[in-house]
A and B are shown apart, each in its own frame.
Chain A
Amino acid sequence: DGGITQSPKYLFRKEGQNVTLSCEQNLNHDAMYWYRQDPGQGLRLIYYSQIVNDFQKGDIAEGYSVSREKKESFPLTVTSAQKNPTAFYLCASSPGQGVGGYQPQHFGDGTRLSIL
Chain B
Amino acid sequence: QQQVKQSPQSLIVQKGGISIINCAYENTAFDYFPWYQQFPGKGPALLIAIRPDVSEKKEGRFTISFNKSAKQFSLHIMDSQPGDSATYFCAARARGNQGGKLIFGQGTELSVKP
Q: Interface of A with B (CB < 8 Å)?
A: 4, 6, 31, 33, 35, 40-45, 48-50, 56, 58, 90, 92, 94, 96-97, 102-110
Cβ B106 vs Cβ A42 within 8 A? yes
| Contact indicator B9/A42 (Cβ below 8 Å) | no
- For the complex of A and B, list the 4 residue pairs with the smallest distance between their C-beta atoms, beginning with the closest: A107-B43, A50-B99, A42-B104, A43-B104
- Cβ contacts B68-111/A at 8 Å (1 or 0 each): 00000000000000000000010001000011111011110000
Chain B: which residue is nearest A44 at the CB level?
B104
The contact sample of 19 A-B pairs, CB cut-off 8 A, is A31-B99, A33-B101, A35-B104, A40-B106, A41-B106, A42-B89, A43-B89, A43-B102, A45-B101, A49-B99, A90-B43, A96-B99, A103-B100, A104-B46, A105-B46, A107-B43, A107-B44, A109-B41, A109-B43
Main secondary structure of the interface of A (DSSP, over half): strand
* B interface majority secondary structure: mixed
Which residue on B lies nearest to A41, using beta carbons?
B106
Query: What would 15 more interface pairs be, CB under 8 Å, given A41-B106, A97-B99?
Result: A31-B100, A40-B9, A42-B6, A42-B105, A45-B101, A90-B43, A96-B99, A96-B100, A102-B32, A102-B51, A103-B100, A105-B46, A106-B46, A107-B45, A108-B43
Q: Complex Cα distance A109/B49, Å?
A: 21
